[in-house]
Amino acid sequence: MRIAMFTNLYLPKVGGVAISVDRFSRGYRRRGHEVLIVAPDFPGQPQEEEGVIRVHAIQDFNGSGFSLALPSGLEISRRLDAFAPELIHSHHPFLLGDSAVRAAAHRGLPLVYTHHTLYEYYTHYVPLDSRTMRNYVVHLARRYAELCDLIFAPSASIAALLRRRGVRTAMEVVPTGVMLEEFTCGDRARGRRLAALEEGDFVIGHVGRIAAEKNLPFLARSVILALRRIAGSRFLLVGGGDLADDLGAMFDGAGLADRVVFAGERRGRALADLYAAMDVFAFASRSETQGMVLAEALALGTPLVGLDAPGARDIIIDGRNGRLVAAQREEAFADALVWIAGLSGDDRRAMRARARADAETYSLDRCVDHALAAYRRLLDRRGPARPLETLNWDALLESLRREWEIWSNRAASLTQALTDGRDPRSDVL
């Protein structure tokens, strides 16, 4: 197959969508398929990239660290024509996601969309953040899904949410896989040396962007309670972001600055070693569609403690590989961390073994096979693609129809958002 992926986020930008696109594209290529990625410019990107079209973009839009892709239809179209894709896969419902709709319509190709993000938790990155804006992005994403032939939901809880919101398009649950071999090689002793931790420390860990949408102030308050109750405990935070100073001030104010380690952004072997250094992985985000870091922690056999929310509830099995905390209460979350710390040696080893076994569900090979099978079924239903030169008038009409739908969806989503008094985040949990 020849698969064209359109994404607003890609390497070297660190984030769930960028990692997902990279992992799936590598998995597809290893099986002999061809992949072309259409993505914005990002600082630090390689000068030469095979199989990637970079689109000019405004960097660090509104201080978010993200790039805002600028329209470049001719630039994309020329390269796509040479690649001759059989299928278009969009990873966003706007910006380059709109370009994916246009590319599929012009070529008469099936369009797949992965709903990676609960956008209603990210509107603080745009001007005029409000309940109306949150409703707008929810309605826009829902209507975008209706333009597609197939939806990939990263977890069953997100598939259920999309159905509750009225998405009728065919859907598959396809998590982003974990390259288990990259994480199972993590070395506990090496990770502890890297983070200046003692072997006897009980280490509560977390990996992810240190950003507002990750619910980290709640996590920090919960961990502070746990650190006070668990002798010899430390908190290891791996990642970067604009809330790092605020979190540091919280631990400093609690008199626990010497028991928290900010390890910064890490990749590769260093990241695997830091996962291995943890005794429990703490996760409080309510904005995830999957929570890849949870699967990565499982690969190292690290028990999990997380809030009962989309993504987390699909991975954490309470009492088996960790604890799933029902309510957002610091005391309850701290109790779960203390419970893990209090397990006997045999019970902790058994939980670690179950965690490693559960990680197999999220192996990249398994997820890639699932995605490719879904692509093949879609292509079989659609029949063979028409050669581009035969599309002509039909292609023009389809392109005009899709363009009308893109703009109609924006207008209808805005109208609905202005009259919708609910906060859409209330139906996520």
Q: Going by DSSP bridges, is the β-strand pair 68-69/57-58 parallel, antiparallel, or unpaired?
A: antiparallel
One fold for both 2-177+364-427 and 180-362? Answer: yes
Q: Is 36 helix (H, G, I), strand (E, B) or coil?
A: strand
* Domain 180-362 CATH assignment equals 3.40.50.2000: yes
Domain locations in the chain as residue ranges: 2-177+364-427, 180-362
DSSP notation for 139-186: HHHHHHHHTSSEEEESSHHHHHHHHHTT--S-EEE-PPPB-HHHHHT-
- Rounded mean pLDDT for each run of 10 residues along the chain, 429 residues in total: 95 88 97 96 86 80 57 76 96 93 92 94 78 90 95 96 96 95 93 96 96 94 98 97 95 97 94 97 95 94 96 95 97 98 97 96 96 97 65 59 76 81 73
Which of these, 267, 305, 279, lies nearest to 188 by C-alpha position?
Answer: 279
DSSP code at position 6: E
**What pLDDT is recorded for position 15?**
83
Q: Which residue is listed with tokens 């179209």?
A: 77
**CATH top class, domain 2-177+364-427:** alpha beta
For the chain, the C-alpha Rg in angstroms (whole number) is 22
The CA distance from 51 to 35, in Å, is 6
Residues 324, 312: Cα–Cα separation, whole Å = 8
Check residue 66 and give its pLDDT.
55
Distance CA 81, CA 135 (A): 37
Q: What is the pLDDT of residue 403?
A: 75
Whole-angstrom distance, CA of residue 191 vs CA of residue 302: 14
**pLDDT value of position 392:** 57
The HSE-up count of residue 46 (CA atoms within 13 Å, CB side) is: 8
Q: What is the pLDDT of residue 127?
A: 72
Which residues of 218-298 form beta strands (DSSP E)?
233-238, 260-264, 280-283
Q: Find the Cα–Cα–Cα–Cα dihedral 126, 151, 9, 404, rounded to 10°.
A: -60
Cα 139 to Cα 162: distance, rounded to the nearest angstrom = 11
